[in-house]
Structure 1
Amino acid sequence: MKMLSSWLRRAPATDPRCLRLPAAAALDERPLASQRLVVVDLETSGLNLQRDHLLAIGAVVIEDGAIDFSQQFECTLHQAEHRAGPSTLIHGIAPSAVAAGREPAEALLEFMAFVDDSPLLAFHAPFDQHMLERALRDELGYRLHHPFLDVAVLAPLLCPEAPPHKGLDDWLRHFHLQASERHHASADALATAELALILFSKARRQGLDNLAELQQQAQSWKRRQLAPSL
């Protein structure tokens, strides 16, 4: 109870600008080719879900069955207390770039306006979802309701014949795709979108042609992987 009351004291009131953001749409049974989806990748100061913070957002849009290059989002967020650490060697975002970044609340509002009511896709989505939810809550008092689909789950679900790949690099190599610059938010979002389009093509051939059913199958697949083997 003490921890709950402490959290409630820290949570900011909802920024009134959030009231202008569109409500999230539920996953439905429209064909995949008629959906608008936002493929997102985040760069963070580390992998600790509670202590590390959001440094950069990159996103591209899949609409009408293709990547729409006219709809892209990229920004670096200002984090006053950020210092270089082990993750800097991976994503390459220097402390000077973070210091010159946009104010987090402004960047997050702009990103959510870009997302509109669309579902989100990411590779290893639970991490991105948690970090985005936390940033939105801490900066804006905003609760994220947009559904996330995990491309890292869709890939083995739809490609059971493939080796047990774990990372994005593995799946890119499997389908002979290339990322222009790995661990760069926009480049990783684009590579994930290219992978997603291949997977959607496979899904249609398997009789899965809408997001609601695809998410249901993905959740069932994940439960099977977590179930103890007999």
Structure 2
Amino acid sequence: MNLFQWLRPVVKKTPLDEHQKQRLAALPGGAVLDERPLRQQRWVVLDLETSGLNMNRDQVLSIGAVVIEDGAIDLGQLFECTIQRVDHKLSPAVLIHGLAPSAIAAGSEPVAALLDFMEFVGDSPVLAFHAPFDQHMLARALKESLDYRLQHTFFDVAEIAPMLCEQANLRKAGLDDWTRHFGLHAEERHHASADALVTAELALILFSHARRQGIDSPARLEQSLSQWRRRMQTHSF
């Protein structure tokens, strides 16, 4: 056993039944980004609540997601689920996400919850604020519970916003900073579905800025972000 294996918690895997194996086999991979207009792309906007910020030891406790389709938030396509963690202990993170151990113990079984969520995602690209964290945590949960390799494209709204709105001078700002900048109102923060919804509202504003700057497809958005990252790295030296 190497050091990284020792640092990770031992996860007791629940064997998949035949129906779950069929559902797993039917899950699509992430679609290749193309030149369709941004408003014609279905997007899944994701937010996770976790037991902490350690990407090797902490666990996903709840998933909230909303869909952007046809250029608008589709409130008919919402996903919200608390994941059962029978060995979860009270931690300082409960003061942020508000999920008591009793609620987590009564949540959905991880295999069922993660299969439901990936069926909800389909082959859509995923948007999240500070997406690398959500991507890593979700990928780890999927690997541990389903032995599934996450292949979907993730876009980080925390990168898209400063790239498109450099005049705001909010390069390293948080979600609250950007919601205030655009005059958005978050009903509830640090709740997965509420955070996903306000992130989706922010994304729609940013897509409008992108179109005005000639960035009107998922492929062009990905390319622009790659160029912006290289420019930021050059300027940091």
TM-score by length of 2: 0.90
Amino acid at match of 1:55: L
8 Å contact kept, 1:11–1:141: no
Partner of 1:207: 214
Q: Does 23-32 or 123-132 show the bigger shift?
A: 23-32
Q: Does 214-223 or 102-111 show the bigger shift?
A: 214-223
Amino acid at match of 1:67: I
Output the CA distance in 1 between the equivalents of 2:212 and 2:236.
30
1:55 aligns with 2:64: no
Output the CA distance in 2 between the equivalents of 1:11 and 1:136.
13
Amino acid at match of 1:147: T
Output the CA distance in 1 between the equivalents of 2:135 and 2:29.
17
Q: CA deviation at 1:229?
A: 3.8
Output the CA distance in 2 between the equivalents of 1:117 and 1:194.
21
1:166 aligns with 2:170: no
Amino acid at match of 1:190: L
DSSP 3-state at the match of 1:30: coil
Partner of 1:121: 127
- CA 1:80–1:157 in 2, change beyond 3 Å: closer, same or farther? same
Partner of 2:104: 98
Partner of 1:68: 74
Question: Alignment partner for residue 146 of structure 2, among 124, 130, 140?
Answer: 140
CA offset digits 1:89-117 (Å, max 9, x no partner): 00101111001000011000000000011
Amino acid at match of 2:48: L
Output the CA distance in 2 between the equivalents of 1:126 and 1:194.
20
- CA 1:181–1:229 in 2, change beyond 3 Å: closer, same or farther? closer
DSSP 3-state at the match of 2:34: coil
Partner of 1:218: 225
8 Å contact kept, 1:11–1:137: no
Partner of 2:204: 197
Cα RMSD for the two superposed structures = 2.0
DSSP 3-state at the match of 2:168: coil
8 Å contact kept, 1:40–1:120: yes
Tell me, which stretches of 5 or more residues in structure 1 are unaligned? Answer: none
DSSP 3-state at the match of 2:81: strand
Partner of 1:130: 136
Amino acid at match of 1:132: L
